Structure 1
Amino acid sequence: MRAGRTFALVVAHPDDDAFSWAGTVALHASEVGFRFVLVHATDGEAGDIREGFRATPETLGGIRRGECEAAWRAVGREPDRHDWLGFPDGRVAEVPMEELTQRIAAVLDEELPDVVATFGPDGITGHPDHVAVGAATDTAFARLAGAGRPGFRRLLHHVLPKSVFDRWQGQRRALGLPVFDPARTYHGRGVPDEDVGLIVDCSAVATRVVAGILQHRSQLHVMVDTPIDHHRLERIVRREWASVVWPVPKASDPVLDDIFDGL
C-alpha cells in the first residue's frame, strides 16, 4: 500500500536513525499522506554495556529495540512500518551481499517508497555494518527503480559536509573534547561540500530530535559527550545533510531543502 509521499529509511543499528533523519520525519509528522517506513538490519545486541547498566549480551538487543520505539514516540512520529531484519550486530558485512540485498528489497518492493535514505560508502563512521547496509540498499533501489515500478524517485545518502565536520572538530578542541580521526573506524568523517545535495533545516523540531536521542539510554555514553549539554545537542541536530544518489545529480542542480523537494 502506498501513501502520497512515502519515505523509507534503512539503517544498521537501533540508534543510527536518531541522529540522521529524525528531524525530517518530525517535520513531516502531521502531514496527510506521509508514510514512514523504517528498516533496521540488527537489534544492536553487540553494543557496549556500561558498568551499572542493567543489561546482558542476551538482553541488550531487546532493550535497544524498546529504546528505539520510545525514541520515535518522543520525536512525535512513530514509523508506519518498522522491520527488524535480525542480522548479527557487528557482523553484517559477513552476511552474503545478495541475502542482505534481497531482505531489504523485499520491504521496499512492498512499500514502493518515493524516497529511500541510507548510508553512503563512508558509513558516516566507517562502521562495516553501516557500509554493508548502505551498499545493499543502493543495489536494492537500483533493481527496483530499474524495473519500472512506481515510487523510487529519489535515493539519498546521509552525510556530513566536510566544512561542518571541520567546524565541529574545532569546537571539540576548544571544549577539551576528543576529536575524531577520519581514518579510524567508528570515528566521524565528512564528505566534500560539493557532494551535498540536500540540506534540511530542522531548527523547529530540534528539541524533539534531542528528546528522541535521549531515549537511547543504554548507548548514550557512546552516542554523546558527557555530561550531556542539551543546548549543544540541539545545535548539532539543527541541520540534516544528504547527497543525492538517484537521479544522478547534475552540477547545475540546486541544493534541495526537503526530501520531497521537486518530486
Structure 2
Amino acid sequence: MGDFILFFWQTIKETFSLSFEFNEFLRQCFQIGNKTLPLISVTGLIMGGVLTIQSRPVLADFGALSLLPGMVASSIIREMGPVITALICAGKIGSGMGAELGSMKVSEQIDAMEVSSTHPIRFLVVTRVLAATLMIPILVLYADALGIMGSWAAANIKGSVSFVLFFNQAFRAIDFIDFFPALIKTFFFGAAIGLMGCYKGYSAGQGTKSVGIAANSAVVLSSLLVIIIDLIAVQITDMLL
C-alpha cells in the first residue's frame, strides 16, 4: 500500500510538470481507443441485444412492452454500459500496460531511462494514465450507443418497431441526471485501470515470470477497483439524488 501511494504521488507530481510528453500521450490514446474499438463494438451490441431478449418476456406478461426501450436504455446508460465496458478495458488495457512495463522493467529499459536523465514515470506512466482516463469515457459512450442499437435490433426479432419510435421511447425515459453521474464515474474507472496497470508493470520483479504475474495482477486488481468505485459512486448518487 505504501509503495502504491508513493507511486501515485509521483505520478501526480509528474502530471503537472512543464515538459509534458504530448506525442506519447497521443500514441497511447490511439493504442487504447482505436485498438479496443472492435472489442467494445461487439460487446455493446451483444449487451443491448441480450438485455432486450431477457427482458421482453417479463414485460410482455405484464403488458408493458412499450416500456422496453426506456428500461433497456436506462439500464445501459446508468450501469451496464459503464461497468461492462470498464471491465473489458481492465482486461485488455490493464494487462497490456502491466505486461509492457513489466517487460521493460525486467529488461532494465526503465533503469536505462533513469540513467539517461529521462523521467520514466513522466514518459511511461503519466501518458498511459491520462490516455486511459480520457479514452475509457469515450469508449463507454460508444458502447452505450451501440447497446441501444443492439436493443432495437433484438426488439425486431419477435416484433416490429421502427427505428425512430424505438429511440423516441428510449430517450423519453432518460434524463440528464441519469447520464451525468454515469459519465463522471467512467473517468475514475479509466484512472484506476491506468494507475493499477502501470503500477504492477513498473514494480515487477526480476525474471520473465514476473511479467506474467504483473499482467495478471493488473487485470484482477483493476477489475476489483472498478467494482469498488462503482459501488461508491452509486452510494454517493443515491444520497445526493
Question: Under TM normalisation by the shorter chain, which class is it?
Answer: under 0.3
Q: Which has the higher contact order (CA 8 A, sep 6+)?
A: 2
Higher strand fraction: Structure 1 or Structure 2? 1
Scaled by the length of structure 2, the TM-score of the pair is 0.27
Larger-gyration structure (1/2): 2
Scaled by the length of structure 1, the TM-score of the pair is 0.26
Higher helix fraction: Structure 1 or Structure 2? 2
